[in-house]
Structure 1
Amino acid sequence: MMARYVVRSPAARRGFALVALATGVAPLVLTVSVLLRDPLELIAAVLLVGCAIAAAWAALVRRGWRRIPAAAIAVLALAATAALPDLRAYLWVLVVAVLVALSAGATRAALGHTPARAVSRTAPARHGVLLMNPRSGGGKASRFGLAAKARALGVEPVELRPGDDLRALAEQAVANGADVLGMAGGDGSQAMVADVARRHGVAFVCVPAGTRNHFALDLGLDRDDVPAALAAFGDAVERRVDLAELDERVFVNNVSLGVFATAVQSPAYRDAKAATVVRQLPDLLGPDAQRPDLRFALPDGTRRESADLVLVSNNPYRLEHLSGFGTRQRLDAGTLGIVTVTANRAAQVPALISAELAGRISRFPGYVSWSAPEFVVDSGRPLIEASIDGEATWLAPPLRFRILPDALRVRVPRDAPGTSPAATLPSGTWATVVALLRVLGGRPS
């Protein structure tokens, strides 16, 4: 089940929240009533049922292969509960399974919503143009036959060839009358074509034909179904999203400075991002390593003369890993997300690596995050290593970042998932329960 572009009334969301909480508690109550005769078995059953509920929630809100382990844990937990001596009644197992599924579905209905301020339906493009990078994502454009599928929809495909200037091709498409520009490629290409679209006020279509496609993920697109994004050239949903700018260069996701930007320079990074970052951290943060010269101000005005990592994003991320980044709850909050990480070289490097591997980077003591419409990073060095939407480069300081609110008109298929993972549910089971209680009380989740 995927969240669609559906706006539910507050009353409906309160109803779903009530159902989610009730059906979440019911399996535990039922387990207690069945197992009061055996306290040890009661403890085991409560833990297993709680695990099944949490895993089922996770399975419903994740996408792609990440759903598989969560669903497997839910099934195994229910199976282990059924194997307990006093729980061999198949009817009991069926009731618990149904309650768990209802709780997970109602939770998503109560909390999952499109976070855009304004979403409207729009007519098919009069003259749609799809620009394609055939090398992105290991050749996804060719593998999925995007050119033929675009022509079948009345969209003009334009393939980027060696030596071509992507921005010039996009400008030419607009000059020839395109009212909707699409880009099938990675996030760096998406940013360039999106910038052309926003400068000319034409709508933009993101086709996730790159490697990671963070922008597509946070737009609520299904990254596993690349051709499905072409439907945005037809009857579609349109919304406005923010773009971010670094010294007049637009980016759709983030810019990283410091040790992560150094890791991106490694030839092994593109094929093994997490492994490359973790492998290089001990050397980049070791006692003999030189700390990056990155100078900036904290929200209270305090000046910092260094940091191991500075991440500036187009709207704030919910970060779990530095290597894989996270997702954004929304793309129209009108603010940059800013994260800095500083580690004590002698004592905190193992803790930083552990936090990275465990997906708990935001709990590392040297982690600081805030949001602002503008941000400046200076340095005493002539050039700073940077990664802009995953592309390595060198830039002359000072680096000036700013958000461009509501800069881009984005079209998305009407049957797209519609929400990013961060917008679907809070992080963690307890946070989900708190959010449901807030919705039940008539407050924002």
Structure 2
Amino acid sequence: MTSPAVTPGGGRRAAAVIALIAPLLAVAATLETTVLHFGTFVSFVLAVVVVTAATWYALTRRGLLRWLAVLVAAVGVLMMVTIGLSLFLTQAAMLIVFAVAGRYALGPHSSATIRGGHPARPVPPARRGVLLINPRSGDGAAARAGLAEAAATRGLEVITLGPGDDLAALAERAAAEGADVLGMAGGDGSQALVATTAMRHGLPFVCVPAGTRNHFALDLGLDRTDVAGALDAFTDGVERLVDLASVNDRIFVNNASLGVYAEVVRAKGYRKAKIRTWGRLLPDLLGPAAAPSDLEFDSPEGPPISGVSLVLVSNNAYDLSRVGRSGGRPRLDTGRLGIVAVRGAVPAVEFVARKFTVRSKADVPAGVDGEAILLTPPLVFRSLPGALRVRVPRSSGARPRAAALSRRDLNALVRVASGVPAV
């Protein structure tokens, strides 16, 4: 069924004009500083270079050199603040204006204004909804939210993991015993396991953000602060198709990381002391004595890529240009993997593909949705388009939303400012 055209009112059109002008004013302020205060601008750029170099040394060196680099970085940051305070405040103000005015301009009809994505459809309440809960995820987020009780009031069957329980086996048993909707309350690794079962049985899946970061929930458009509210997907939800991805037939919902991040995640003591573990291992992994990586893969253009320190393969591409929350995925249904590789601290290549293969001479440590595993090469990544039926609360909207406006929204803002009906 085609949605009726929505003609933006005068208030939304004015807000769209303001949102489009704000970035131009920010650029104008930068040009003014560059032309009229060229010395100040050069000093600011030099301070940025010093801070960047000092931060790199602080991360990849040990002992006295690390502490000297920290001191230099702190001094550089102070110089940046002192030199560029007025410009920074102007840029920040324009950013806020752009975000606030843009959100208002797109308004409640933004899902109609911004094209793309599989449409969501209303669905009846689950007849036998089953919620699996990992009570240890998010330092007990499920218990703090009273999730089991909230699920019971909605008529859901609750399965709480105990020590030694096999989550995948519990999900399979629930599906075999007649569950018509499967939900998971836990971190992204747990979400992937239950989503795999839901995909295999063709069942709708409900993501309940009871983990630590809940990236999948965020890119689905869920309110991560309202854990119990996500349960409304069982009783008053909409359903849409999203992609999954796999590496050597292991499903993931967010990303798989090879190289530095994977090595740190699998290190002893990482879960209890993450920052300390990063500080301890980065000099060995990125410092001057670090052994070169033997990871190799083909790029869309040019010769094979090798010697990279990090490879990130995501289920749909991250939009690193987003205003307000860098790194979110504006779409979960493009049927493409996002591939980003870094050599040292410099991006080596970034592209999208349906399939992606990484070669290595030995088993490869990987962080798959935050879980440390060891993979046997070649590592074959695949996008699984529309593989998962996801239900979200009706109040979350008809399409995944991200936390901020992006460059993809500019066309929508132009249409609203012009008074063109959204279709």
TM-score (norm 1): 0.71
Q: CA deviation at 1:291?
A: 1.9
Aligned pairs for 1:270-281 (under 5 A) are 270=271, 277=278, 280-281=281-282
> What 5-or-longer segments of structure 1 have no aligned partner?
1-6, 30-43, 61-101, 344-351, 353-363
Q: CA deviation at 1:14?
A: 11
> What's the secondary structure of 2:195's corresponding residue?
helix
Aligned residues: 358
Query: Structure 1 pair 110/273, CA: closer, same or farther in 2 (3 Å)?
Result: farther
Query: Structure 1 pair 159/114, CA: closer, same or farther in 2 (3 Å)?
Result: farther
Aligned pairs for 1:319-334 (under 5 A) are 319=320, 326-334=327-335
User: Is 1:55 the counterpart of 2:51 in the alignment?
Assistant: no
Contact kept in structure 1, 2:293 and 2:306, CA below 8 Å: no
Percent identity for Structure 1 against Structure 2: 50
Query: What amino acid is the match of 2:165?
Result: D
What does residue 386 of structure 1 align with? 366
User: Is 1:415 the counterpart of 2:388 in the alignment?
Assistant: no
Query: What amino acid is the match of 1:252?
Result: V
> What's the secondary structure of 2:192's corresponding residue?
helix
Contact kept in structure 2, 1:53 and 1:104, CA below 8 Å: no
User: Is 1:436 the counterpart of 2:413 in the alignment?
Assistant: yes
Aligned pairs for 1:355-366 (under 5 A) are 364=346, 366=347
What does residue 386 of structure 2 align with? 406
What does residue 39 of structure 2 align with? none
Instruction: Give, in whole Å, the separation in 2 of the partners of 1:202 and 1:149.
Output: 22
Contact kept in structure 1, 2:20 and 2:413, CA below 8 Å: no
Q: CA deviation at 1:301?
A: 5.6
Q: CA deviation at 1:263?
A: 1.9
Instruction: Give, in whole Å, the separation in 2 of the partners of 1:182 and 1:268.
Output: 30
Deviates more, 1:108-117 or 1:310-319: 108-117
What does residue 211 of structure 1 align with? 212
User: Is 1:20 the counterpart of 2:1 in the alignment?
Assistant: no
Deviations 1:9-30 (A, max 9, x none): 464399845532147759x99x
Instruction: Give, in whole Å, the separation in 1 of the partners of 2:279 and 2:107.
Output: 34
What does residue 175 of structure 2 align with? 174
Aligned pairs for 1:290-309 (under 5 A) are 290-300=291-301, 302-309=303-310
Query: What amino acid is the match of 1:106?
Result: A
> What's the secondary structure of 1:257's corresponding residue?
strand
Contact kept in structure 1, 2:184 and 2:207, CA below 8 Å: yes
Query: Structure 1 pair 52/145, CA: closer, same or farther in 2 (3 Å)?
Result: same
Deviations 1:26-54 (A, max 9, x none): 9x99xxxxxxxxxxxxxx99996764342
C-alpha RMSD of matched pairs (Å): 3.7
What does residue 234 of structure 1 align with? 235
Q: CA deviation at 1:150?
A: 0.8
What does residue 106 of structure 1 align with? 105
TM-score (norm 2): 0.74
Deviations 1:332-356 (A, max 9, x none): 011111110113xxxxxxxx3xxxx
Contact kept in structure 2, 1:17 and 1:110, CA below 8 Å: no
> What 5-or-longer segments of structure 2 have no aligned partner?
26-84
Q: CA deviation at 1:219?
A: 0.4
User: Is 1:425 the counterpart of 2:405 in the alignment?
Assistant: yes
Deviations 1:383-423 (A, max 9, x none): 11110000111111111110110001000001126665647
Aligned pairs for 1:97-136 (under 5 A) are 105-106=104-105, 116-136=117-137
Contact kept in structure 1, 2:316 and 2:333, CA below 8 Å: yes
Instruction: Give, in whole Å, the separation in 1 of the partners of 2:152 and 2:92.
Output: 48
User: Is 1:243 the counterpart of 2:244 in the alignment?
Assistant: yes
Query: Structure 1 pair 46/301, CA: closer, same or farther in 2 (3 Å)?
Result: closer
